[in-house]
């Protein structure tokens, strides 16, 4: 084989290799493997099933926008206070500044902060709803999350609407210090007025719901709903074990454990949530119609 023939041969092998790699990458984007049962599914199969594994019913993480699409009547969502954005009141810096983290999160998620609030319809029943998004700094509760939820609750009270909050959070946002902790009392106070007006409030706990969110509005619902096998906690498992010097059950801090011990009222799969919310809201219809 001459030098020119050898070079042509090597070039053809390289081209075949690159084509093969591209095909593999393209195929990987089309298929999703379940983290729990390792079931391999076409990505559209997962999307059409509300990001719930059709084999083992594992609930994949999902965005606030997906939840809006899953829950509400088509094109009925009306955003509230969508332009509110956190500042950096403490000038907080760790590996990078808090202001830079906020900027990065806005670019990555397309959101201004960790919650979307609005008014929408579920089978023609109008509701006020807040949906937390774990993609934005772990769904942490800062001053904007507190302000948006408080304004939402006040709007629901003035319009006499049922209120639903979907929780997904790591807790209070440490970069805002005491300001983030103040939101617990602020939101709870608005919820008290909503309850005094005899209006229903449902919370939906998704995985994870932890920290200051669990310690405040997540557990104040007239009806507390949870997704299956969601992590719901205040302190971390290891912290509790080290404090009480005992081993905890394997299913500790799951929806099922909390249901057995009376902390939540019902566990509903994401695939059934829209229909079940309609049925539950219908039971309360006399209070807001």
* Sign of CA pseudo-dihedral 31, 35, 40, 46: negative
CB 232 within 8 A of CB 205: yes
d(CA 175, CA 179): 9
The answer to whether residues 183 and 142 touch, using CB atoms and an 8 Å cutoff, is yes
Q: Is 215 exposed, middle or buried (0-12, 13-18, 19+ CB in 10 A)?
A: middle
Comparing C-alpha atoms, which of 280, 14, 288, 273 is closest to residue 131?
Answer: 273
34 a known binding residue? yes
Angle at 197 between CA 262 and CA 120, to 5 degrees: 80
From residue 191, alpha-carbon distances to 70, 98, 122, 271 in Å are: 25, 30, 21, 28
CA distances in angstroms from 156 to 45, 116, 166, 204, listed in the order given = 36, 15, 15, 17
The annotation status of 56 as a binding-site residue, yes or no, is yes
Using left for φ > 0, alpha for ψ between -120 and 50, and beta otherwise, residue 61 falls in beta
CA–CA separation, 272 and 289 (whole Å): 25
Beta strands 40-42 and 78-79 are unpaired
Query: Can you read off the two tokens belonging to residue 160?
Result: 């006499």
Is 53 a known ligand-binding residue? yes
> Binding site: residue ranges?
34, 37, 53, 56
> Binding site for Zn(2+): residue ranges?
34, 37, 53, 56
């Amino acid at each position: 084989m001459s030098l020119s023939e050898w070079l042509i041969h090597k070039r053809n092998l390289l081209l075949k290799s690159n084509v093969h790699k591209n095909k593999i990458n393209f195929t990987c984007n089309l298929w999703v493997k379940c983290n729990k049962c390792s079931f391999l599914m076409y990505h559209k199969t997962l999307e059409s099933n509300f990001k719930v594994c059709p084999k083992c019913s594992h609930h994949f993480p999902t965005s606030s926008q997906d939840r809006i699409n899953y829950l509400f009547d088509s094109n009925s969502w009306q955003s509230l206070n969508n332009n509110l954005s956190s500042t950096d009141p403490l000038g907080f810096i760790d590996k990078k500044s808090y202001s830079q983290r906020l900027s990065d999160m806005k670019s990555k998620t397309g959101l201004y902060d960790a919650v979307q609030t609005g008014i929408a319809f579920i089978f023609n029943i109008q509701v006020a709803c807040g949906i937390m998004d774990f993609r934005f700094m772990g769904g942490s509760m800062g001053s904007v999350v507190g302000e948006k939820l408080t304004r939402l609750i006040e709007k629901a009270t003035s319009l006499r609407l049922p209120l639903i909050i979907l929780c997904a959070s790591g807790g209070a946002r440490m970069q805002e210090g005491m300001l983030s902790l103040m939101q617990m009392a602020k939101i709870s106070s608005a919820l008290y007025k909503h309850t005094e007006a005899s209006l229903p409030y449902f919370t939906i706990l998704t995985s994870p719901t932890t920290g200051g969110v669990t310690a405040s509005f997540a557990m104040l619902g007239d009806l507390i709903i949870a997704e299956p096998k969601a992590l719901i906690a205040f302190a971390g498992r290891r912290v509790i074990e080290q404090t009480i010097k005992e081993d905890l059950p394997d299913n500790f801090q799951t929806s099922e454990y909390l249901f057995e011990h009376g902390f939540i009222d019902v566990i509903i799969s994401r695939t059934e949530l829209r229909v079940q919310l309609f049925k539950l809201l219908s039971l309360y219809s006399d209070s807001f119609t």
